[in-house]
Amino acid sequence: GAGVSQSPRYKVTKRGQDVALRCDPISGHVSLYWYRQALGQGPEFLTYFNYEAQQDKSGLPNDRFSAERPEGSISTLTIQRTEQRDSAMYRCASSLDISGYEQYFGPGTRLTVT
Amino acid sequence: SQKIEQNSEALNIQEGKTATLTCNYTNYSPAYLQWYRQDPGRGPVFLLLIRENEKEKRKERLKVTFDTTLKQSLFHITASQPADSATYLCALWEGGSYIPTFGRGTSLIVHP
């Protein structure tokens, strides 16, 4: 079946613009996680949802970052007033149950802020 | 401070040998530890999960050990193949937490 998909795969934006990154999890997966991954590093937790409820957003760097999953399926990570330091690979992962232990990662969105 | 250490230097081995990768941690009390494989340009792929009360877990050519006294997990690939070349990440889950912390990963290169 289809895996986790993310769009766009690449996004170049100018400093100060808002961007929305989309994650489409595996159908039926309850948990959805957002990560940021720098080159040569492991994924760094940002936030996660069980169904439509945001369970933890402690990893979001500041209040310019927000995420939603209104119907418990597709999720959007929004970055307002982007800055160059926001440039990174943003990945989402989904998991069948609320434990979140076995996660299936998407291909990521490479965000470049110029 | 909390730290997860994986060798930053690539591990180079010859095809057919056993590859052993290390994940050490400090100031964590993980209830679970996972290993993932990541190929260039792709997302991590889940391989194995081991619980704190398990010493060893196997899956085909893969074996993971978990020593909570040494605060270390070892990841072994037996009869390694060039197709096993990738970066391998460990991830810790502390008890009661649903948030994993990933190490930076170790690159494995298997030479034919």
Whether A78 has a pLDDT exceeding 90, the answer reads yes
pLDDT tens-digit profile, chain B (112 residues): 788 999 889 999 999 999 999 999 998 888 899 999 999 999 999 999 999 999 899 999 999 999 999 999 999 999 999 999 999 999 999 888 899 999 999 999 999 9
Tell if the CB–CB gap between B46 and A104 is shorter than 8 Å: yes
Which residue among A55, A102, A107 sits closest to B46, beta carbon to beta carbon?
A102
Lowest-pLDDT choice from A85-94, A96-105, B73-82: A96-105
Whether A100 has a pLDDT exceeding 80, the answer reads no
Cβ-contact A37, A91 below 8 angstroms: yes
pLDDT score, position A69 = 97
Tell if the CB–CB gap between B102 and A44 is shorter than 8 Å: yes
Tell if the CB–CB gap between B104 and A41 is shorter than 8 Å: yes
How far apart, in Å, are the Cα atoms of B111 and each of A111, B13, B75, B87?
A: 34, 6, 19, 15
Whether A1 has a pLDDT exceeding 90, the answer reads no
**Cβ-count burial B16-37 (b if 16+ within 10 Å, e if not):** eeebebebbbeebebebbbbbb
A45 chain-B contacts, CB cut-off 8 A: 99-101
B91 chain-A contacts, CB cut-off 8 A: 42
Which three-class secondary structure state does DSSP give residue B84? helix
Lowest-pLDDT choice from A77-86, A105-114, B28-37: B28-37
Q: What mean pLDDT comes out for the span A89-101?
A: 90
pLDDT band at A101 (very low <50, low <70, confident <90, very high): confident
pLDDT score, position A19 = 98
Kindly state the percentage of chain A with pLDDT values over 70. Answer: 99
Residue in B closest to A34 by C-alpha: B99
In whole angstroms, what is the distance from residue B46 CA to residue B90 CA? Answer: 10
Token pair belonging to B53: 């009360």
pLDDT score, position A53 = 97
Q: pLDDT tens-digit profile of A7-24?
A: 999 999 999 999 999 999
